[in-house]
Amino acid sequence: MTGLLLAEIGRGAYGVVYEAVSGRSGARLAVKRIRCDAPENVELALAEFWALTSLRRQHPNVVRFEECVLQRHGLGQRMSHGNKRSQLYLRLVETSLKGERILGYAEEPCYLWFVMEFCEGGDLNQYVLSRRPDPATNTSFMLQLTSAIAFLHKNHIVHRDLKPDNILITEKSGTPVLKVADFGLSKVCAGLTARGKEGGHENRNVNVNKYWLSSACGSDFYMAPEVWEGHYTAKADIFALGIIIWAMIERITFIDAETKKELLGTYIKQGTEIVPVGEALLENPKMELHIPQKRRTSMSEGGRALLCFAAGFVYQGPTISIIYVQQERLKTREDDDTEDS
């Protein structure tokens, strides 16, 4: 990458995000720097690189990936050239990163720089909580999010860390557009299948709704009960989606114990304590959900029922594609009712 770092705009346990400007086009970019001298950092970097480079096309609601650069010994090696979908290419990146972690020195660490589109509107928390409730925006955001997750699942990617912090906002012709970001905990679902032409096994993608995962990862208030249990599929993303949408519509928030920030998120109240919905359902799968409601909105009862279905019944629930179709039909009916009134 040739360009100029302008300012730090975010910092987490595994990396720092900067606003930058491209030296070639002058466009604003977001650049994430991950230090690759710790095993957990390498794992996150590889997961994000694998997911973003496995996509064969872009989606308007998934953050656009430009390139990544491996910086070592003071030099940068561009890692996004060539065939991004080549299994050999991705394995080369994995070997390079792991080798650097093993052979590098503390005083001379290596970094992985991810270059992505810049989203000037902040994250979903900041956007929603700084504005008055708007049913039309809620409906638009619901459809955009569902479309993005349907796209990822169709491309065999389970995000595994959906939360308002990881949903960014930009604008197109004055209209807010959501971008799903941060794929550090994501999983590209693939498995060894039939033997290839050379006699070795081919690595082919599988159905994400039948691919079982066991790593209990994510953020507590958005994790499905089966994630807490350590045995889940891509439908765990649907649970997180329901939690986010419900909180967005009802303006349900909690204070994060670590950052002290106000965050969108649905929960169960048990006395004076708030408990993540997924954790509560794991302890009592037959629990009736009485989600706190801060205010009533004009959303239809059908929409509420759809959100309940998405958020509360993941084990045998529908796929994300089915939910997206249901939402489109629901929006069409609501638009028709508005025109008739």
Q: Can you name the residues that pair with 275 across neighbouring β-strands?
A: 268
**Domain end residue (candidates: 117, 150, 184):** 117
Q: Say whether both 141 and 273 belong to one domain.
A: yes
Q: Measure the CA–CA gap between 142 and 327, rounded to whole angstroms.
A: 8
Q: Which two tokens stand for residue 186?
A: 């994501």
Instruction: Tell me: is residue 84 an annotated ligand-binding position.
Output: no
Alpha helix segments (H runs only) across 155-234:
225-229
Q: Say whether both 203 and 275 belong to one domain.
A: yes
Return the higher-pLDDT residue of 135 and 178.
178
Q: Say whether both 265 and 175 belong to one domain.
A: yes
pTM of the model as a whole: 0.80
Q: Residue 325 falls within a domain, yes or no?
A: yes
Q: Residue 264 falls within a domain, yes or no?
A: yes
Looking up residue 78, the CATH number of its domain turns out to be 3.30.200.20
Return the higher-pLDDT residue of 228 and 310.
228
* pLDDT value for 199: 42
Q: Which two tokens stand for residue 244?
A: 């986010």
Band of residue 103 on the pLDDT scale cut at 50, 70, 90 = very low
Q: Residue 83 falls within a domain, yes or no?
A: yes
Average pLDDT score over residue span 13-38: 86
Q: Measure the CA–CA gap between 74 and 56, rounded to whole angstroms.
A: 32
pLDDT at 205 over 80: no
Full domain range(s) for residue 207: 124-336
Q: Residue 341 falls within a domain, yes or no?
A: no
Band of residue 222 on the pLDDT scale cut at 50, 70, 90 = very high
Q: Say whether both 211 and 228 belong to one domain.
A: yes
Q: Say whether both 103 and 81 belong to one domain.
A: yes
Task: Indicate the number of domains in the chain.
Answer: 2
Q: Residue 141 falls within a domain, yes or no?
A: yes
Q: Residue 153 falls within a domain, yes or no?
A: yes
Band of residue 330 on the pLDDT scale cut at 50, 70, 90 = low
Longest CA span, the chain: 70
Average pLDDT score over residue span 193-206: 49
Return the higher-pLDDT residue of 298 and 273.
273
**Domain end residue (candidates: 59, 94, 117):** 117
**Domain end residue (candidates: 117, 133, 166):** 117
Task: Round the average pLDDT of the chain to a whole number and report it.
Answer: 79
Q: Which residues are catalytic?
A: 161
pLDDT digits (tens, 9 = 90+) for 137-165: 998 999 899 999 999 999 999 999 999 99
Q: Say whether both 17 and 136 belong to one domain.
A: no
- Greatest mean pLDDT among 156-165, 243-252, 309-318: 156-165
